Amino acid sequence: MKSLLFISLIVCLSAFSIYGQENYPYWGPYHKTPVSEIKPAQWFDEDTIVSGWDWSLPGFVEPSAVSKLCIARNSGLGTNKITCLPELNFPANQVISHWVRWRDLEPEEGKINFQALIRNIELASEKGYGSIVRIHFSAIDFAPDWIKKYNIPIRKEHKENPKKTNYEVSHPEFHSRYLKFITALGESGIPHMEEVRGLFLGYASPSNGDEGIGPYRENNAVANDTVKHVIERINAWSEACKGVEHKVFMGGLSNYGFSKGFGIRRGFVEMYLYHIPDEHIGQKLDNNNYLYVDESCPVIAKNVFQGEENEEYEEKWSEGQSSSRFGALESFPYRYFTANLRLLQMRCNYLLNNEFALLPEMLSWVSLEMGRTIEDTPDAWCTLRESYLKNDGGVPVKNFERWLYQRDAPGYETTPALKIEQAIQMWMVQRDKYYDFVARKGKKIGFNIDDRMFKSGEQKMAIKVSFYDGVAGTLKLVYKNDRGIQQETVKALGEDKIRTATFFVNAYSSDTDFDHDFDFILESEEEVPVSFVRVIKTDNKYEVNIETANQ
In sequence order, what DSSP letters do the residues of 265-307 get, joined into one string? E---TTSTT-S-SBGGGTEEE-TT-BEEE-TTSHHHHTT--EE
Over the stretch 86-126, which tens digit does the pLDDT of each residue have? 999 999 999 999 999 999 999 999 999 999 999 999 999 99
Nearest to 363 by CA among 40, 129, 14: 40
244, with CB counted inside 10 A (0-12, 13-18, 19+), is middle
Give the C-alpha separation, 529 to 547, whole Å.
36
CB-based contacts of 80, cutoff 8 Å, min separation 6: none
**pTM for this prediction:** 0.94
65, with CB counted inside 10 A (0-12, 13-18, 19+), is exposed
pLDDT of residue 449: 95
Give the C-alpha separation, 178 to 385, whole Å.
46
- What phi and psi, each to the nearest 5 degrees, are found at residue 389? -80, 155
Strands 291-293 and 444-449: unpaired
Give the C-alpha separation, 369 to 68, whole Å.
11
| Domain boundary assignment for the chain | 2-59+382-549, 68-265
- What phi and psi, each to the nearest 5 degrees, are found at residue 507? -135, 155
pLDDT of residue 546: 40
- What phi and psi, each to the nearest 5 degrees, are found at residue 96? -120, 145
pLDDT of residue 510: 66
Instruction: Looking at 85-211, list the stretches that DSSP marks H as alpha helix, in order from N- to C-terminal side.
Output: 102-105, 115-126, 172-188
Q: Where are the beta strands (DSSP E) in 379-529?
A: 379-389, 395-402, 404-406, 415-421, 435-441, 444-449, 457-468, 473-481, 484-492, 498-509, 520-523
**Positions in the chain short of pLDDT 50:** 1-20, 544-551
pLDDT of residue 489: 98
Over the stretch 215-229, which tens digit does the pLDDT of each residue have? 987 667 789 999 999
pLDDT of residue 219: 63
pLDDT of residue 15: 33
Question: For residues 161 and 149, is the Cβ–Cβ distance under 8 A?
Answer: no
Give the C-alpha separation, 447 to 464, whole Å.
13
pLDDT of residue 6: 35
Question: For residues 466 and 442, is the Cβ–Cβ distance under 8 A?
Answer: no
Over the stretch 509-549, which tens digit does the pLDDT of each residue have? 766 678 899 999 999 999 999 999 999 999 886 554 444 44
Give the C-alpha separation, 78 to 82, whole Å.
8
pLDDT of residue 3: 47
User: Concatenated DSSP letters for 121-145?
Assistant: HHHHHHTT-EEEEEEE-SBTTTS-G
How many Cα atoms within 13 Å fall on the side-chain side of residue 125? 13
Task: Kindly tell me the sign of the dihedral angle through the C-alpha atoms of 319, 325, 326, 329.
Answer: negative
pLDDT of residue 541: 63
Question: For residues 301 and 407, is the Cβ–Cβ distance under 8 A?
Answer: no
